[in-house]
Amino acid sequence: MCIARVEAGNRVGRIVNALAKQGFMAPFGDSPSVGIGGITPGGGIGPLQRTTGLISDNLIELEMVDAKGKVIRANKKNHSDLLWASRGGGGGNFGVYTKYKFKVRRAPAKATVFRITWPWNQFEEVLKVWQRWAPSVNTKLGSELSIGPKKGGNVSMLGLYLGSKKEAIRLLEPIICVGTPSKDIRLLPYTQVVKFMLAPDPILIQKFSNQFSSGFGRRPFPDKAIKIMRKFLEKAEGNTPAGFFFLNWGGAVSRVLPKASAFYWRKAKYYVEWNSSWVKPSNAAKNIALARNTRRKLKPYIVGSYINVPDQGIKHSGPVYYGRNYARLRKVKAKYDPKNVFNNPQSIPPA
């Protein structure tokens, strides 16, 4: 087993690119600028997860400073309860994490990346096919489907396949034969794969505010749920980062038992996230209401929510983020931070 030691100030893009240059593959999310200390404790989802597991599934040791200033090293032999809780229990709950130790895998010499785009008005037919195809396709294929607002938005699928271009095209056939897509499919050296998937975050010429929410789907959205999505996308402010985002699940993520780590939502078919965005402060209330009302309407079709995409509109959020692991997380909290020094509006209270 190969190991990477990472200190908390590092960002995902820097880590993943540095490892790729040395021939190693580490899982990542959808942004290079997110800190490793921000993404890891909450789980860490992304396009490689069906092969490697979540980022937190690869965490084998950590160093944390508790509320009294004591340095604690947690691994399978010592403070294993803290390691368990730090694999999906969210940041800012137990102490200040300073160092991480991850297992990493050898990267393939080359892999295939793809970006497929469709006109916005084809989103329903694309989504219906994607939700049946993506969770059951080869687990070496990770797929992110983004649907922007009706005004100025489109449908875009970004992803990778850890194999040949010929095989990737064969696997992609069920989705690329839908509608009228434009296709960019390339076989690249792995160092370039990482750069393609983790392109620099866009430089925004104006500051957007956002309201996010999320959940996990255990079956494809029926027409009723897609109608709710459409209403959201029609009302969302145009030419903003607003929209829906889907990520296929399964593979290595689902092979870990829900209680084996703090990250509970293992049995889904896909992850779904949506956000409303706005520029003018006077538009805040209606956009926050739009995202939260959409969550209320989608409740019959999703389970849980992802702690790394916090939504303060969720009441009694513990079981929503952590499922049946919430009670155990409260006990871990009581052991390492009994006075609740580390707290936020949705943090875990001590048992």
Amino acid at residue number 214 = S
Nearest to 216 by CA among 269, 252, 139, 264: 269
| Domain boundaries defined on the chain | 2-107+323-336, 110-301
DSSP H or E segment with residue 332: helix 326-336
How far apart are alpha carbons 82 and 11 in whole angstroms? 23
How far apart are alpha carbons 145 and 5 in whole angstroms? 32
DSSP 78: S
Query: Over the stretch 15-29, which tens digit does the pLDDT of each residue have?
Result: 999 999 999 999 999
DSSP 123-189: HHHHHHHHHHHTTTS-TTEEEEEEE--TTT-EEEEEEEESS-HHHHHHHHHHHHTSSS-EEEEEEEE
Three-state DSSP at 201 gives coil
DSSP H or E segment with residue 191: helix 190-197
Identify the pLDDT of residue 256. Answer: 97
Amino acid at residue number 22 = Q
Identify the pLDDT of residue 121. Answer: 97
Contact 242, 299 (CB under 8 A): no
Q: SS3 letters for 263-301?
A: CCCCCCCEEEEEEEEECCHHHHHHHHHHHHHHHHHHHHH
User: Which parts of the chain register pLDDT below 70?
Assistant: none
| Phi/psi at 262 (5° precision) | -70, -20
Nearest to 156 by CA among 269, 244, 274: 244
**This prediction's pTM:** 0.96
Identify the pLDDT of residue 1. Answer: 77
Structure tokens at 267: 């049995």
| Phi/psi at 109 (5° precision) | -60, -40
Structure tokens at 254: 């689902």
Structure tokens at 120: 């916005």
CATH topology of domain 2-107+323-336: 3.30.465
Contact 150, 234 (CB under 8 A): yes
Contact 209, 290 (CB under 8 A): no
**CATH code for the domain defined by 110-301:** 3.40.462.20
Identify the pLDDT of residue 25. Answer: 96
